[in-house]
Chain A
Amino acid sequence: MAGKMILIDTTKCTGCRGCQVACKQWNSLSAVATRNLGTHENPPDLAYNTYTKIIFSEVEKNGELAWYFGQHRCMHCEDAGCMKACPVPGAITRDANGAVVINQDLCTGCKYCVFGCPFNVPRYDHKNAEGYGVDKAFKCTLCFDRLAMGEQPACTKTCPTGALFFTEKAKLPEIASSAAQRGLKVYDGGSLKTNVVFLLRGEPEEYGLPAKPAIPTPTFLWRTIMKPLGIAAMVAGIFGVIAHYSYVGPKDIEEGDGEGGKH
């Protein structure tokens, strides 16, 4: 697919969180109460109204402190767990740019995608006692609306250091080889083939990323194995019953005396 990607060069990130602000501004997302987490990290977590968040990670490397900046956001997988889990036709789609987008007009608020995501990204907007909340799931859209107008996503547009960079997916091999020369690891979600690609100095876990991201095993068993197998089994069961009736026939214990007890 002639897709696009967001390249995140973590060595260039200064933790300014301009991307968080630009994201909220473009998507008209309301503010979230902050909390002291002992770092500069805030808001506390992704939410239905927080699509991205910079992770501040302090790790010890060879007896010295390393301060890493990661980003928690939708990775726009080519093999997307949310899409696998979603039961509504067209509620989660992938466009030509590679953006995985939830259509809230179709979303029914079942929350399957929330639990099907390997990166714990989609968030559900509860309908609370006061009637606020829309009972639907939300996440980063890769600013598909901006892309449609030939613009780049709000986060990459605003990034002052070039840590977030919007480019062609086709350039990944080239970028990977130059990253290797700089001693950086390329993180592209492995088999999930994410359209958000990180260049990492350390291990994925040190940036809050799963080391071996995969569609959760139960979600895979449920949607990829059990769902088609179940349909096949139920259809086979119906034909099995019809076959029994046709070949073996009913076990009519009263057939010996004609109409049996019907006197």
Chain B
Amino acid sequence: MAEILVKRASPIQRLSHWMHMVSFIILALSGLGLYARSFFGLTGLFGGVDMSRTIHHYTGIVFFATTFIIFFQWAHAITARGEDSLVDVVRSYLDHDFHAPAGKLNFGQKLFAWFAFFGGLVMGLTGFAMWFPFVLGRGLQQWMYFLHNAFFVGLMLFILVHLYLGTFGNPGSWRIMVSGTVTKAWAKAHHPKWDAEEV
């Protein structure tokens, strides 16, 4: 029996997501080196603190740009009104027999998308402020460091969950990143409304 595959992400969507992911990993590793003195050794991965910081700056541009690109690629699905709630989504994470009545994106994915967009925006803007620290003035600039740190932690937590749910947590989801397709069974289980209406 040949399995039925359903298209879920276009090549350009996948490419954008790969760029976003790779830039995030580089940013996280080079950023952690300056996050705390005990992590300073991580700057060695990039050949010392100067190169680590330079790579962090320019990789930040890629991450900032792809934040917008990905958000607008998915904007229709992110802003679509769904029938599922946060309670449904949490329950579906804990109960294998329960499936949230989700459209193309479920409530949790929409929440993640908004945070990824807003978080990427804040990280980019505060990041540029830290790159050119004598523009904003002393009082405002001090908050930029705090915000960059706070949103980094927030993004790390969201992305940890995103990474887990997209791979080990929900087998079959990784295909979206590789081939852009999912199985019909996957679509029906995880996104029943989307499966019924659009596929």
Q: Are A253 and B35 in contact (CB under 8 A)?
A: no
* C-alpha spacing A111/B34, complex, angstroms: 12
- Knowing A218-B142, A218-B143, A237-B156, say if A244 contacts B164 (CB, 8 Å): yes
Q: Are A87 and B138 in contact (CB under 8 A)?
A: no
Which residues from B are CB-within-8-Å of A111?
133
Q: Are A120 and B138 in contact (CB under 8 A)?
A: yes
Which residues from B are CB-within-8-Å of A244?
93, 164, 169
Which residues from B are CB-within-8-Å of A87?
34-37, 40
Q: Which of B94, B143, B146, B172 touches A254 (beta carbons < 8 Å)? A: B172
A114 at the interface (CB under 8 A from B): yes
Which residues of B in the span 122-161 have a Cβ within 8 Å of any Cβ on A?
133, 138, 141-143, 145-146, 149-150, 152-153, 156-157, 160-161
Q: Mark B92-111, 1 if CB is under 8 A from A, else 0.
A: 11101000000000000000
A245 at the interface (CB under 8 A from B): yes
Q: Are B2 and A260 in contact (CB under 8 A)?
A: no
Number of contacts between A and B (CB, 8 Å)? 117
Q: Are B169 and A250 in contact (CB under 8 A)?
A: yes
B10 at the interface (CB under 8 A from A): no
- Knowing A87-B37, A110-B53, A254-B185, say if A230 contacts B152 (CB, 8 Å): yes
Of chain A, the residue at the smallest CB distance from B150 is A226
Q: How far is the CB of A125 from chain B (nearest CB, A)?
A: 13
Q: How many residues of B contact A (CB 8 A)?
A: 42
Q: Which of B53, B146, B164 touches A241 (beta carbons < 8 Å)? A: B164
Which residues from A are CB-within-8-Å of B149?
222, 226-227, 230
A173 at the interface (CB under 8 A from B): no
Q: How far is the CB of B44 from chain A (nearest CB, A)?
A: 13
Q: Which of A120, A227, A233, A245 touches B157 (beta carbons < 8 Å)? A: A233
Which residues from A are CB-within-8-Å of B50?
108
Q: Mark B56-94, 1 if CB is under 8 A from A, else 0.
A: 000000000000000000000000000000000000111
Q: Are A253 and B190 in contact (CB under 8 A)?
A: yes
Q: Which of A216, A229, A263 touches B1 (beta carbons < 8 Å)? A: A263
Q: Known contacts A226-B150, A234-B157; can you find 4 more A-B pairs with CB under 8 A?
A: A218-B146, A230-B35, A238-B160, A241-B160
Closest 10 CB pairs of A and B: A261-B3, A230-B153, A253-B189, A222-B146, A218-B142, A218-B146, A87-B34, A218-B143, A241-B164, A108-B49
Residues of B within 8 A of A (CB): 1-3, 34-38, 40, 49-50, 53, 92-94, 96, 133, 138, 141-143, 145-146, 149-150, 152-153, 156-157, 160-161, 164, 168-172, 183, 185-186, 189-190
A–B complex contacts, Cβ < 8 Å, 13 sampled: A87-B34, A87-B40, A88-B49, A108-B49, A114-B133, A216-B142, A219-B142, A222-B146, A226-B146, A230-B156, A237-B161, A244-B93, A261-B183
